[in-house]
Amino acid sequence: MRLGVLDVGSNTVHLLVMDAHPGARPLPAHSHKSELRLAQLRDQRGAIGEPGVGLLVETVHTALQAAEDQGVEDLLPFATSAVREADNADRVLDRVRRETGVELQVLTGAEEARLTFLAARRWFGWSAGRLLVLDIGGGSLEIAYGMDEEPDAAVSLPLGAGRLTADRLPGDPPDAADVRALRRHVRAEIARTVGEFSRFGRPDHVVATSKTFRQLARICGAARSGEGLYVQRELKRASLENWVPKLTCMTTAERAELPGVSEGRAGQLLAGALVAEAAMDLFRVDAAEICPWALREGVILRRLDHMRTG
C-alpha cells in the first residue's frame, strides 16, 4: 500500500510518500517539501501568529493535494517542537483540523527520539549491537540508546539548529562572543544527560540522522546524495572540529556555496555544527554513521507494525 507521512516540523512541512507493506522494507516514492520556518513565526509570547497559522493551513492543503495526486491510501500527519511548544498550540491544531480535515498528532520529544531510534535500528539491523542515535532537528536534539527496537534511554533537548540560530546567533556572520556563549550553553545542556546514557556502557555503533548531520558529513567529505541511498556516509569528529572555526567566520551566503548545503539551511548550519561537535565530544564519539532513515520512516514503520499485529 502507499502510505504518506506529513511532518510539520520547525523548518519544513514535509510529505514523504512510501510504498510499504508489513514485513517488507518501505520504498520511497515521492517527497514534497515546503520551507515554512514555523518556529520563526512565533511571537514574543511564543504563539504562532495568524499569518503563520494561515501559511500552515495553506501548506497542509498543498501537501494533501500532493498526497492525493500520488495515490496515498493512508496519511499519517504529525507535528513536532514548533507546534508542541507554541503558546497557542490547541488553537493552531483546531484551525488546521477545521480548515483541512487533518488532525495533527503532536509528538513529544521522547516519542521523536524513540521513533527515530526505531528507524535506525531497522536500517542497520540487530548486528549493529548497542546503538547511540543522535538527531538534530530545527527545534530540538534527540538522543537515544539501546540494544532493542525500544531504546533504554531517550531524551529530547531544546537544541535544534533553527531555534538556536534565531535565539542566540543574530549576526551574519555571528559575533565571536555570541558563538562562544552558544557553545557553552549547548555543552552544558548536553552534559546534563551524559550520565543517563553512560551507565549503559559504550555503544557498538553511533548513528546520526536528519538534514543537519547529512550536510555536515557532506562538507566533511562524505558522498553526495546523488550517489545513492545505500552508500556508506560517515561524519568524523576530527573533521567537524576543523570545520567549526571556518563556519564561524562565514556569512550565510558563503555557507550556501558549500557542497551539499541548501540555501534554506545555510543560516543555521553553524548552530547545528556546534551541537553536533558537542554531542560527539561529550559522548566520546570519534565517528558517526549517517542513517538515511529518521523520524518520518520511524512513523511509517510503527504503523506497519500495528497493521501486522492488529
- CATH code of the domain containing 189: 3.30.420.150
Q: What share of the chain is helix, strand, coil (3-state, %, to 5)?
A: 50, 20, 30
* pLDDT attached to residue 310: 59
Instruction: Identify whether residues 136 and 270 lie together within a single domain.
Output: yes
Instruction: Identify whether residues 68 and 96 lie together within a single domain.
Output: yes
Tell me, yes or no, whether 306 lies in a domain: no
How far apart, in whole angstroms, are the C-alpha atoms of residue 87 and residue 223?
Answer: 41
108, 271, 290 from 186: Cα distances, Å: 21, 9, 22
DSSP SS3 for 37: coil
Quote the DSSP letter at residue 219.
H
* pLDDT attached to residue 163: 93
Instruction: Identify whether residues 65 and 203 lie together within a single domain.
Output: no
Number of Cβ atoms within 10 Å of the Cβ of 123: 19
Instruction: Identify whether residues 119 and 52 lie together within a single domain.
Output: no
Tell me, yes or no, whether 134 lies in a domain: yes
How far apart, in whole angstroms, are the C-alpha atoms of residue 129 and residue 113?
Answer: 18
State the Cα angle at 229 between 224 and 235, rounded to 5°. Answer: 55
What CATH number has the domain bearing residue 38? Answer: 3.30.420.40
Which amino acid would we find at residue 47? A
pLDDT (tens, 9 = 90+) of the chain, 310 residues, equals 899 999 999 889 999 999 988 878 899 999 999 998 888 888 888 899 999 999 999 999 999 999 999 999 999 999 999 999 999 999 999 999 999 999 999 999 999 999 999 999 999 999 999 999 999 999 999 999 999 999 999 999 999 999 999 999 999 999 999 999 999 999 999 999 999 999 999 999 999 999 999 999 999 999 998 898 889 999 999 999 999 999 999 999 999 999 999 998 999 999 999 999 999 999 999 999 999 999 999 999 999 988 876 5
DSSP SS3 for 61: helix
Nearest of 181, 189, 190, 154 to residue 280 by alpha carbon? 190
Instruction: Identify whether residues 181 and 274 lie together within a single domain.
Output: yes
Instruction: Identify whether residues 79 and 227 lie together within a single domain.
Output: no
Tell me, yes or no, whether 301 lies in a domain: no
Which of 56, 72, 106 represents a domain boundary (last residue)? 106
Tell me, yes or no, whether 307 lies in a domain: no
Tell me, yes or no, whether 164 lies in a domain: yes
What is the full DSSP assignment across 187-213?
Answer: HHHHHHHHHHHHTT---SEEEEEHHHH
* pLDDT attached to residue 24: 81
Instruction: Identify whether residues 99 and 116 lie together within a single domain.
Output: no
Instruction: Identify whether residues 139 and 281 lie together within a single domain.
Output: yes
Compute CA 193 distance to the chain's CA centroid, rounded to the nearest angstrom: 19
Asked if 180 contacts 171 with a C-beta cutoff of 8 angstroms, the reply is: no
Tell me, yes or no, whether 300 lies in a domain: no
Asked if 260 contacts 215 with a C-beta cutoff of 8 angstroms, the reply is: yes
Tell me, yes or no, whether 50 lies in a domain: yes
Residues contacting residue 127 through CB under 8 Å, at least 6 positions apart:
none
Domain that holds residue 290: 109-295
Q: What is the grid cell recorded at 279? A: 554531542
State the Cα angle at 125 between 119 and 127, rounded to 5°. Answer: 145
Quote the DSSP letter at residue 293.
-
DSSP SS3 for 140: coil
Instruction: Identify whether residues 120 and 90 lie together within a single domain.
Output: no
For the chain, the distance separating the N- and C-terminal CA atoms, rounded to the nearest angstrom, is 16
Tell me, yes or no, whether 304 lies in a domain: no
**pTM for the full predicted model:** 0.95
Question: What residue ranges in the chain does DSSP mark as E strands?
Answer: 2-8, 12-19, 27-35, 74-79, 105-106, 131-136, 141-146, 153-157, 205-209, 234-236, 287-291
* Cβ neighbourhood burial of 131 (10 Å; 0-12, 13-18, 19+): buried
Q: What is the grid cell recorded at 7? A: 511532518
Instruction: Identify whether residues 22 and 92 lie together within a single domain.
Output: yes
Instruction: Identify whether residues 200 and 91 lie together within a single domain.
Output: no
Instruction: State how many domains the chain has.
Output: 2
Which of 106, 131, 156 represents a domain boundary (last residue)? 106
Instruction: Identify whether residues 126 and 265 lie together within a single domain.
Output: yes
Which of 106, 136, 168 represents a domain boundary (last residue)? 106
